[in-house]
Chains A and B, each alone.
Chain A
Amino acid sequence: MLEKMIVLFILYTVILISDVPRLKQKMRRERWSYTAILMISFYICFDFLLEKDLPGLNDLVNFIFSEPAKMIVESVKLPEG
């Protein structure tokens, strides 16, 4: 947990030090977009730190595509053994 927090702290610090001065000169649309993407990153951060296995992209993908993909692969796959 501590190790992960340190990693994230370093990453966010590097990114913010690099982008905040530039962001101050940007239009509102740029700032909002940037903030929105950071918000999304906080959600995944939470999952990364606490290992809560929160619903994510892969769950959505699996829900939609996993079964049809399995059917396609099974229809052409070599039999086991």
Chain B
Amino acid sequence: MKDLETIDAWQMATLFLSFLIGSAIINLPAPLTGAALNGAWLSIVIANAAGFIILYCILYLYRKYPDLTYIDYGRKILGKWVSGILFIPFLILLLMLVSYIVIDIGGFMTSTMMKATPLYIFHALILFTAALTVRAGIEVMARMFLVLLYAMFMFGLAVVLLAIPIYKPEHLFPMMPYGIKPILHGAYLAFGFPYVEITLFAMILPFCKANSHKKLGKYMYFALLLSGIGLISAVIFTILAMGPLSGNLKYSIYQLARLVSIGDIIERIESVIGMSLIAGSYMKVTITLFALNMGVSQFLKLRDDRILIFPLALISFLLTMTMYESEAAFVHAVSDVWPLMFTVIGLFPLLLITFVSFLRKTN
């Protein structure tokens, strides 16, 4: 595998940042400020710190088994049966993650920009594009996402700068009017989306070039820190502009862009943020589909690791259309159930493998 396709440490960190920031920067601020109010940024700090621990585990395992994938060293450490029991739910979880991201994009498009277009159009198109990108390979993904990520950051920066006239610093206070509990609620949300999801990078790290090993850790930690700063900024700027309303308005960065109006010349720039959301979610869904496809192919010990991409994308599409009948059910699934589910099914195996691997080293 490593002889076929590799990317360097910087590109891997770019993929990592795209995955973290991707859809979170648009989707996270509203529910987070709804849960943690003005202390939402503190929730991100807590969740980001937890992300560092997860990343440490992933990098520890990567350094120990640089040539093996997550599935391979999981098999080696836990044995065929135990790893099988742990990895099947994990792969199903990735399938659900792909579907959730796509449902998010569809929901955004049909509720804001293209209300009359059927949902399946967005779902099918985004999954088809993601599947084609995964088929093109990780090198193409890394090169392309670098451009998209810079564009996303520039659009986001432009909007928050143009919105400066509407910021009201007094909106930031009081920071913790109801004590620590809402902050913990926000941390639970932010941990589930996106920080615990970085577990899937255990599947992708072996694609890093052998001569980039030393820099990888540094770059990945930097990307994680940058994602925290990006999300905290998004939350703070939406609170500054909208105050207590920011928790009630969905896609608050998009709403912030709608408020920008400078001299009747620069206005209605929310479409730019809409494009950023589509680009961000597309990157995230592509990376997840890539990890899912690699995981399934390696789990089934297939020689061709690209033959299952389209069928997996098709199943994801069908799941997006059948899983949730109402938005309330989807919101409950994402904000309440998802963090716990990913911690149990996704994070637990990683921690177990790290622990067993550490014990073996000690012995």
Give min CB distance, A48 to chain B, whole Å. 5
In the complex formed, the residue of B with least CB distance to A10 is B124
Pick the residue among A15, A23, A30, A73 that contacts B336 (CB under 8 A): A73
Q: Is there contact, CB below 8 Å, between A57 and B319? A: yes
Interface string of A9-29 (1 = CB under 8 A from B): 001101100110011001101
Residues of chain B with a CB closer than 8 A to A40's CB: 315
Q: Is there a chain A Cβ closer than 8 Å to B150's Cβ?
A: no
The number of inter-chain residue pairs (CB within 8 angstroms) is: 115
Q: Is there a chain B Cβ closer than 8 Å to A78's Cβ?
A: yes
Residues of chain A with a CB closer than 8 A to B321's CB: 48
Q: Is there contact, CB below 8 Å, between B323 and A56? A: yes
Q: Is there a chain A Cβ closer than 8 Å to B92's Cβ?
A: yes
Q: Is there a chain A Cβ closer than 8 Å to B312's Cβ?
A: yes
Q: Is there a chain A Cβ closer than 8 Å to B218's Cβ?
A: no
Q: Is there contact, CB below 8 Å, between B336 and A78? A: no
Q: How many residues of B contact A (CB 8 A)?
A: 46
Pick the residue among A30, A61, A69 that contacts B307 (CB under 8 A): A30
Q: Is there contact, CB below 8 Å, between B92 and A57? A: yes
A residues 26-70 touching B (CB-CB < 8 Å)? 26-27, 29-30, 33-34, 37-38, 40-41, 44-45, 47-48, 53, 56-58, 61-62, 64-66, 68-70
Q: Is there a chain B Cβ closer than 8 Å to A1's Cβ?
A: no
CA–CA, A7 to B262, complex, Å? 44
Q: Is there contact, CB below 8 Å, between B185 and A30? A: no
Residues of chain B with a CB closer than 8 A to A58's CB: 323-324, 329, 333
Q: Is there contact, CB below 8 Å, between A37 and B312? A: yes
Residues of chain A with a CB closer than 8 A to B96's CB: 57, 61
Residues of chain A with a CB closer than 8 A to B336's CB: 66, 69-70, 72-73
Residues of chain B with a CB closer than 8 A to A77's CB: 35, 181-182, 185
Q: Is there contact, CB below 8 Å, between A65 and B341? A: yes
Q: Is there contact, CB below 8 Å, between B124 and A78? A: no
Residues of chain A with a CB closer than 8 A to B341's CB: 61, 64-65, 69
Please report B residues at the A interface, Cβ cutoff 8 Å: 35, 37, 92, 95-96, 118, 120, 124, 128, 178, 181-182, 184-185, 188, 296, 300-304, 307-308, 310-312, 314-315, 317-319, 321-325, 329, 332-333, 335-337, 339-341, 344
Known: A44-B318, A58-B333, A76-B182. 12 other contacts (CB 8 A): A12-B314, A15-B311, A26-B307, A29-B302, A34-B307, A37-B312, A38-B311, A45-B318, A61-B333, A69-B337, A69-B339, A73-B336
